Structure 1
Amino acid sequence: MKIALLGYGKMGKAIEAIAIQRGHDIVIKTSEQSGYNITDADVAIDFSVPSAAFNNISNCINNQVPVISGTTGWLEQYNDVVSLCEKQKGAFIYASNFSLGVNIFFELNKVLAKMMAKVDDYNVDIEEIHHTQKLDAPSGTAITLAEGIIDNNTAYQDWKLDVSDKNTIPITAKRIPEVPGTHTITYNSAIDTIKIEHEAHNRQGFALGAVIAAEWLVGKTGIFTMKDVLALD
């Protein structure tokens, strides 16, 4: 499989190493190439920056190149990408986190939210910790977790960063050097605390999940998620 890496920072380099280990070729690296032809690739993996993501993804879809994106901070244009993908009969996956473990954690979070909807006197909060180079806060993963709770527990209608209001999930975002990513969901009551947590030890899990998603997407048409890739339904 010929892969275009749209964004060649730390994640791009981690993806490159795993892709090569799995027998793929990297034919485009956007931080090292300009004026590239995206059709040289069988699939594109976008881990760029928010200001570049929409154009990167649109270029792929317009040229019939399947594309996955793990870039966060651009989702106000997500529906535009969906419309374009449907119009062009393209193939696209967005995930706030491609880690296989995190996507299992997403589903565990939903199950717990359904359980907690049946009991009173618990308040939920989310904490996420990432490295100091991470540009957005809260993380896309934390937002996905909050949305999973909101969809499964009518006590909550929104999330806010560093704000605790009624019917709102407070998210705390911390930035600490060399932390790949830790996400904690905590339900507190006067009697006890229930907590679930995912802690990444390095970037390898994110990179492996991205390559697996790219392998899965080739040859397909439509808009998908990691639930489709991992058959979590």
Structure 2
Amino acid sequence: MKIALLGYGRMGKTIEKIAMDRGHEIVVKITGDIEEHDLSKADVAIDFSIPDAAFKNITTCFKNNVPVVSGTTGWLDDFNKATDICKEKNSAFIYASNFSLGVNVFFELNRKLAGMMQGLEDYSVEIEEIHHTKKLDAPSGTAITLAEQILEDNSRLNSWKLEEAGENELPIHAKRIEDVPGTHTVTYDSTIDSIEIKHTAKSREGFALGAVVAAEFLNGKTGVFTMKDVLAQLFEK
């Protein structure tokens, strides 16, 4: 598989190593204007660029018949426009706030637990996320995904809020600590006990591997998919 890397920072370099170890080839590395690069040799693009560039990068790939796996956060106001262009151009797309296979299992656990806890009114719920000091956005896309899953099943909460939350809001606490790849904790607390689920990333390699596995899944397909589709295929094996 021939891969275009959209963004060649620390994550892009990790993806490059893992992709090559799995027998793939990197045919273009894009750090500036995507229109200055030739995408014709790419079977699929993996996007870990920056929020301001993501929409243009992704849709330019669709217009050049290149499917996209995107893990860039902070651009999702344009997500529906991007998926519309994907469908219009008969291309393929996977976006995930976190491509770690372990985190996506964690998402499924979070969704299941939220459903189980919805009738237990004595429990409050909160999310904590910890990342390295170079992470620009807060809360993390992963924490937002966790929060949105909980809100789907909790009629007592209307929205999430960073740090101080009101009565009907789900608090997300964001911490930035040097050299922490990513830790996410969901806690249900009552006067009697606490229930906690937690995912701790040990390196960027888990995120990079998941992105490459998603690209392998997407190659040759058309449509808009999620990591749930990727996991379903893996679990079938």
TM-score interval, smaller chain: over 0.9
**Any idea what SS the aligned residue of 1:61 has?**
helix
Aligned match of 2:223:
222
CA distance in 1 between counterparts of 2:138 and 2:24 reads 33
Aligned match of 2:186:
185
CA distance in 1 between counterparts of 2:156 and 2:142 reads 21
How far has the Cα of 1:131 moved from its partner? 0.5
Aligned match of 2:129:
128
**Any idea what SS the aligned residue of 1:118 has?**
coil
Aligned match of 2:108:
107
CA distance in 2 between counterparts of 1:36 and 1:86 reads 23
The aligned amino acid for 1:117 is Q
Deviations 1:74-126 (A, max 9, x none): 00000100111111111000000000000000010011101111212111000
How far has the Cα of 1:31 moved from its partner? 2.9
Aligned match of 2:159:
158
How far has the Cα of 1:138 moved from its partner? 0.3
How far has the Cα of 1:32 moved from its partner? 8.2
CA distance in 1 between counterparts of 2:84 and 2:167 reads 35
Aligned match of 2:15:
15
Structure 1 window deviating more from structure 2 (33-42 vs 96-105): it is 33-42
Deviations 1:173-211 (A, max 9, x none): 111110000000011111111110000000111000000
**Any idea what SS the aligned residue of 1:81 has?**
helix
How far has the Cα of 1:39 moved from its partner? 1.9
Aligned length: 233
Q: Say yes or no: does 1:140 pair with 2:141.
A: yes
How far has the Cα of 1:155 moved from its partner? 1.8
**What stretches of structure 1 move > 4 A for 4+ residues in a row?**
none
Aligned match of 1:66:
67
CA distance in 1 between counterparts of 2:77 and 2:186 reads 25
Deviations 1:211-233 (A, max 9, x none): 00000001111010000111189
CA distance in 2 between counterparts of 1:171 and 1:223 reads 29
How far has the Cα of 1:163 moved from its partner? 2.1
For structure 2, which runs of at least 5 residues remain unmatched after alignment?
none
TM-score w.r.t. length of structure 2: 0.95
CA distance in 1 between counterparts of 2:37 and 2:87 reads 25
How far has the Cα of 1:33 moved from its partner? 9.0
Aligned match of 2:47:
46
Aligned match of 2:202:
201
**Compared with structure 1, are the counterparts of its residues 33 and 158 closer, same or farther at alpha carbon in structure 2 (3 Å cutoff)?**
closer
Aligned match of 2:90:
89
**Any idea what SS the aligned residue of 1:196 has?**
strand
CA distance in 1 between counterparts of 2:40 and 2:152 reads 39
Between the two proteins, what is the percent identity of the paired residues?
63
**Any idea what SS the aligned residue of 1:57 has?**
helix
CA distance in 1 between counterparts of 2:88 and 2:12 reads 29
CA distance in 1 between counterparts of 2:33 and 2:97 reads 26
TM-score w.r.t. length of structure 1: 0.97
